[in-house]
């Protein structure tokens, strides 16, 4: 909890710090990577750094946390902290690294705001930082304990399937022969790829099949940059990784998982594009556990041939006792298929039962549109859960 004295100072300086936070985090990263270049090479996503997206996510989360503290002094923004902690835990972030981030972040604050950073202002923001850092460290500690450490493990590629022209599935088995750790449908792993220049870049990939098999799978879309450079890791995996090769994986992380009480609730599982991966794993899990309640299955894609994991998506929906399927394609919808529609995902004609719990994964414009429609249909905002396949620019609103 923020002390009363610091709360007043933070409230008074939020506009100044909030207004400069983009510049502060830019200076922060420049300082951090000048002091510790290996962090940019082997821990942070250098594509996100180049594109500036991670900067916005970090800045947004600190401003959101400070705002939350002054508005709700007795509470904690658990959804936001959980999401960040899961991401950190999938990357192997350590408690000791928070002091390093603190050192460079506060030097950047002084560099940008100059004399406005009086000792009182510095002390108040120091308190905010450590409240957030300690909350994250304690969640990350619990996550590491649950999975028996934060070690990377080698996995052997035992199968590769070309799902569509730009999505490939990699089936993986622990290379050391020990059992694969448990996970929950919807979770992701971090994959550490050794690139030609020696960098070990890390990216997250959702596990795209339900738990319960000794073989894990991820399904990776090749990111084509158009004007920007092509995605580094996705193209590396597509071009270089074959059956018999090894990949280094973190333990499963992520909090977009079906809740324990969802068995009794109507569910909506909505995806678009490669966002299908965690959703198909969840559907597979519902089939495996004999789920009987109503499930709305919604997906948007450019066309049926570009709909990755479509066969599994359809087969699982068919096996469920009470599923209704709505696939929206921009082109190529099959008029003979009752579940096919032409156009972008639109729930206007879809009946959404009272008390529905929704799980969304796909590009932000898709999730914004679906979320707005669901709220319009009476779904409680707290029952709408989502996963973003990149730095979460929604965090600032997610509280
Ligand atoms: C929780 C989670 C789950 C995910 N699950 C999946 C999944 O199941 N399947 C899947 O395919 N993906 C998934 N992703 C996305 C995945 O982690 C990667 O982000 C994706 O594969 C792209 O990585 P990359 O290395 O190929 O691209 P990067 O090299 O990281 O590039 C990312 C973007 O930045 C742009 N960029 C790079 N350099 C610059 C520059 N200099 N200037 C401007 N722009 C630049 C690129 O053009 C590209 O659009 C998931 C992400 C998260 C966070
Ligand atoms: C209070 C301190 C911190 C805050 C508020 C914070 C906040 C964030 C946020 C908001 C994200 C994006 C989460 C998402 O994907 O949605 C993130 C990702 C990340 N954080 Fe932190 N973080 C902190 C400390 C640290 C530390 C100590 C490290 C280790 C040096 C670290 C390393 C990373 C990395 C590597 C990523 C992923 C970056 C990427 O994909 O480019 N963070 N953090």
Q: Within a domain: residue 254?
A: no
Write the residue with the smallest CA distance to atom 30 of ligand 2.
97
Instruction: Decide if 40 contacts 232 (C-beta within 8 A).
Output: no
Q: Within a domain: residue 93?
A: yes
Q: Within a domain: residue 275?
A: yes
Is residue 398 lining ligand 2, measured as CB closer than 6 Å? no
Distance in Å, CA 316 to ligand 2 centroid: 35
One domain, residues 168 and 239? yes
pLDDT value at position 398? 40
- Catalytic residue, from 29, 127, 140, 387: name it: 140
pLDDT value at position 394? 54
pLDDT value at position 396? 46
Distance in Å, CA 349 to ligand 1 centroid: 34
Task: Give the Cα separation of 105 and 349 in Å (integer).
Answer: 49
Is residue 311 lining ligand 1, measured as CB closer than 6 Å? no
Is residue 229 lining ligand 1, measured as CB closer than 6 Å? yes
Instruction: Determine the structural domain holding residue 174 and report its residue range.
Output: 153-249
pLDDT value at position 44? 92
Q: Within a domain: residue 72?
A: yes
Q: Within a domain: residue 256?
A: no
Write the residue with the smallest CA distance to atom 10 of ligand 1.
220
Average pLDDT, the chain: 92
Q: Within a domain: residue 255?
A: no
Nearest CA-CA partner of 95 in 136, 128, 146:
136
Nearest CA-CA partner of 167 in 276, 256, 46:
276
Low-confidence stretches of the chain (pLDDT beneath 50): 396-399
Is residue 277 lining ligand 2, measured as CB closer than 6 Å? no
Is residue 50 lining ligand 1, measured as CB closer than 6 Å? yes
**Ligand closest to the CA atom of residue 393:** 2
One domain, residues 50 and 182? no
Q: Note if 98 is an active site residue.
A: yes
pLDDT value at position 73? 78
What's the total number of domains in the chain? 3
The CATH number that applies at residue 348 is 3.40.50.80
pLDDT value at position 325? 97
Structural domain ending residue among the three candidates 225, 249, 273: 249
**Ligand closest to the CA atom of residue 189:** 1
One domain, residues 71 and 98? yes
């Amino acid at each position: 909890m923020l002390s009363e004295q610091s709360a007043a100072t933070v409230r008074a300086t939020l506009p100044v710090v909030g207004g400069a936070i983009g510049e502060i985090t830019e200076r922060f990263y420049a300082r951090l990577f000048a002091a510790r270049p290996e962090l940019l090479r082997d821990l942070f996503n250098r594509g996100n750094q180049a594109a500036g997206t991670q900067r916005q996510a970090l800045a947004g989360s600190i401003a959101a946390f400070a705002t939350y503290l002054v508005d709700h002094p007795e509470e904690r923004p658990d959804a936001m902290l959980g999401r960040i902690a899961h991401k950190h835990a999938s990357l192997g972030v350590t408690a000791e690294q928070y002091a390093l981030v603190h050192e460079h972040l506060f030097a950047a604050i002084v560099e940008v705001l100059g004399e406005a950073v009086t000792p009182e202002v510095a002390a108040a923001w120091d308190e905010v930082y450590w409240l957030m850092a300690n909350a994250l460290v304690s969640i990350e500690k619990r996550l590491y304990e649950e999975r028996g450490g934060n070690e990377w493990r080698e996995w052997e590629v035992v199968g590769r399937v070309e799902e569509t022209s730009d999505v490939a599935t990699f089936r993986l088995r622990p290379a050391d022969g020990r059992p694969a750790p448990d996970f929950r449908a919807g979770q992701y792993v971090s994959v550490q790829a050794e690139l030609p220049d020696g960098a070990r870049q890390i990216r997250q990939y959702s596990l795209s099949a339900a738990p319960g098999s000794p073989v894990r799978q991820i399904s990776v879309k090749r990111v084509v940059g158009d004007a920007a450079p092509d995605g580094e890791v996705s193209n590396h995996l597509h071009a270089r990784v074959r059956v018999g090769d090894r990949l280094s994986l973190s333990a499963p992380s992520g909090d977009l998982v079906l809740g324990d009480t969802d068995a009794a609730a109507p569910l909506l599982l909505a995806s678009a594009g490669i966002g299908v991966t965690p959703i198909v794993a969840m559907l597979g899990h519902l089939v495996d556990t004999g789920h009987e309640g109503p499930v709305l299955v919604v997906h948007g894609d450019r066309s049926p041939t570009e709909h990755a994991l479509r066969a599994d998506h359809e087969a699982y929906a068919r096996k469920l006792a009470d599923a209704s399927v709505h696939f929206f394609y921009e082109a190529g919808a099959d008029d003979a298929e009752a579940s096919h529609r032409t156009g972008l995902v639109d729930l206007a004609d879809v009946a959404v039962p009272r008390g529905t719990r929704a799980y969304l994964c796909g590009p932000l414009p898709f999730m914004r549109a679906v979320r707005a429609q669901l709220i319009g249909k009476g779904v409680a905002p707290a029952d709408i859960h989502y996963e973003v396949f990149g730095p979460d620019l929604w965090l600032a609103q997610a509280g």
